[in-house]
Structure 1
Amino acid sequence: MNRFELTLLCAVALSAVAAACGPTVAQQAHYHGFADQRAWAGLPNALDVLSNLPFAVGGLWGLRAVQRQPPGVQRGLAALFFVGLLVAALCSGIYHWQPDDARLALDRCGMVPVFAGLLGLAVADRSSDRAGLWTAGAVLLWGPLSVAVWSATGNLLPWAVLQGGGMVLVLGLALYPPRPGAWGIRLGGVVAAYALAKLLEQGDHSVFAWTGGVVSGHSLKHVVAALAAWPVLAAMASRTAVGTARHTAVAD
């Protein structure tokens, strides 16, 4: 185990301790009271439901692009990420159709493979394939467990640590160059999309008022969050272009 992997392992262990021993964090009151509750063509909460379509588009686009990548750990983690986007689109759409705690648990579980694939990719890109697989596995275990804790006790802390800690990890990894042979994903773009999405989520009602009731912050949050797929898609496109150029050069 190298120093980078040991540091990562310690960070995960400390996060788990914080999630288990920290104070109880309750979900916001009236969490399900989203700003835009307009129906369209019989579809309740139409824009909050339909704004999940960019996740599905990104997932399908990504899975097609993954097929052109050579076998490897990053390819597998990318596939998990893009499958996760499809799952997240479905689960979030179900939740926003009729928001309640049961469907919110489903929505959060739908995000788990997205986090697992993305965090695993980021770690594999900057550290090692082994560390990337460990990270993805830890998230796949931690995610459903944290949702179960929230459902049983109302304590949102383990889920908040997973989300917030995961983005802090990606931000830290963005400060390091990709390791040799890695995809070279621009992790800063992932962090920027996540940060803007969270701001829009918190400003749901304010954005709805500012736009004169045209669109809410939560609907825009879905669209912006889906843009986190772009740095991964761009990295794959770059690798495909380089591979094609090398093949052409050899053929000539």
Structure 2
Amino acid sequence: LRILAYLPITFWAVIFLQGPIPQDPAYHQFADQRTLLGIPHCLNVISNLPFLLIGLWGFSVVFRLATNSTQQAFVSPVDSLAYQILFLAVALVGLGSTYYHLDPSNETLLWDRLPMSVAFMAFLAAAITERLDRRAGIITLLPLIAFGLFSVLYWYYTEQAGAGDLRYYIVAQAYPILFVPLMVRLLPSPYTRGSDLYVAGLFYLLAKAAEVFDQALYGVGGVISGHTCKHLFAALGAYWVLRMIRLRRLH
């Protein structure tokens, strides 16, 4: 538990000792620039469809399970709220990222990152609800989402002012990825299948790796780029969370 107490302080200290972190101007220069079927950056655009489908499917499944008195996926219907928001945000990522990749720029990236930040914060709130403190998770859901949205708007405002700063957004994205696996490892859950979150996390790490090696992966045959793979791996991560919810039971 000491690790969980010290991690937030350490994480914030490391991030903010770095000073402002601007958006790399080359970020929007993706390896795969092809126009196919009249769609610019085609594969980077259409690879967002899984986000939309999994997000809508996930919301439907979670809502159904939460309102079914015989199910064992949630202790109480209110415990499902973070997951409902998570999957709605994933669906909106599909729309926002599609919009961004049709014409990549900071202005369109804003609409990709806003729902992403909501998804990250809802994921964190769900983990807090299930493993740390049920009441705390429910109470902090909206403040966490507000922080996620603030982190993106702050980045965008500072970029427009000529002094971009990604630090708050980095916290919003990276903190759940570091914190949730620790909670899974150290704290009990009332549900089975908690280890599925490790698999979801692995898919997310693969997505980040594919993003870094965008050009290198596209250079292998010129068929699919790392950024397209990033979308597919990240969507698989969201699916694995949905799979966990569908299959889990109360201990």
The alignment's TM-score, normalised by the length of structure 1, stands at 0.83
Deviations 1:142-190 (A, max 9, x none): 2222222222230111111221222111221221354235874622112
Matched letter for residue 198 of structure 1: K
Deviations 1:178-231 (A, max 9, x none): 423587462211210111100000000000002x11000000100100112233
Contact between 1:185 and 1:232, CA under 8 Å: does it hold in 2? Answer: no
Deviations 1:17-36 (A, max 9, x none): 66566411122231100001
> Which residue of structure 1 aligns with residue 177 of structure 2?
167
Query: C-alpha separation between the residues in 1 aligned to 2:4 and 2:147?
Result: 15
1:221 aligns with 2:230: yes
Query: C-alpha separation between the residues in 2 aligned to 1:135 and 1:17?
Result: 22
Contact between 1:125 and 1:183, CA under 8 Å: does it hold in 2? Answer: no
> Which residue of structure 2 aligns with residue 53 of structure 1?
49
> Which residue of structure 2 aligns with residue 176 of structure 1?
186
Cα pair distance change 1:220/1:24, threshold 3 Å? same
Q: CA deviation at 1:135?
A: 4.5
Contact between 1:49 and 1:93, CA under 8 Å: does it hold in 2? Answer: yes
> Which residue of structure 2 aligns with residue 36 of structure 1?
32
Query: C-alpha separation between the residues in 1 aligned to 2:134 and 2:19?
Result: 34
Among 45, 56, 64, the alignment partner of 2:60 is 64
> Which residue of structure 2 aligns with residue 249 of structure 1?
none
Describe the SS at the equivalent of 1:31: helix
Query: C-alpha separation between the residues in 1 aligned to 2:183 and 2:24?
Result: 31
Matched letter for residue 35 of structure 1: A
Matched letter for residue 46 of structure 2: L
1:137 aligns with 2:146: no
Contact between 1:119 and 1:135, CA under 8 Å: does it hold in 2? Answer: no
Contact between 1:27 and 1:156, CA under 8 Å: does it hold in 2? Answer: yes
Runs of 4+ in structure 1 over 6 Å off: none
Contact between 1:171 and 1:187, CA under 8 Å: does it hold in 2? Answer: yes
Matched letter for residue 136 of structure 2: A
Describe the SS at the equivalent of 1:68: helix
Cα pair distance change 1:116/1:228, threshold 3 Å? same
Contact between 1:49 and 1:97, CA under 8 Å: does it hold in 2? Answer: yes
Is 36-45 or 229-238 further displaced after alignment?
229-238
Cα pair distance change 1:165/1:181, threshold 3 Å? closer
Contact between 2:93 and 2:115, CA under 8 Å: does it hold in 1? Answer: yes
Matched letter for residue 40 of structure 2: P
Cα pair distance change 1:131/1:13, threshold 3 Å? farther
Is 167-176 or 220-229 further displaced after alignment?
167-176
Cα pair distance change 1:177/1:185, threshold 3 Å? same
Contact between 1:122 and 1:185, CA under 8 Å: does it hold in 2? Answer: no
> Which residue of structure 2 aligns with residue 234 of structure 1?
243
Among 104, 108, 112, the alignment partner of 2:109 is 104
> Which residue of structure 1 aligns with residue 119 of structure 2?
114
Matched letter for residue 237 of structure 1: R
Over aligned residues, Cα RMSD in angstroms? 2.5
Query: C-alpha separation between the residues in 1 aligned to 2:189 and 2:181?
Result: 16
- Unpaired stretches in structure 1, ≥5 consecutive residues: 244-252
Query: C-alpha separation between the residues in 1 aligned to 2:132 and 2:224?
Result: 40
Contact between 1:83 and 1:113, CA under 8 Å: does it hold in 2? Answer: no
Number of residue pairs matched?
A: 236
Deviations 1:48-106 (A, max 9, x none): 01000111111121122113323523311110011001111100000000000111122
Query: C-alpha separation between the residues in 2 aligned to 1:232 and 1:112?
Result: 17
Contact between 2:122 and 2:145, CA under 8 Å: does it hold in 1? Answer: no
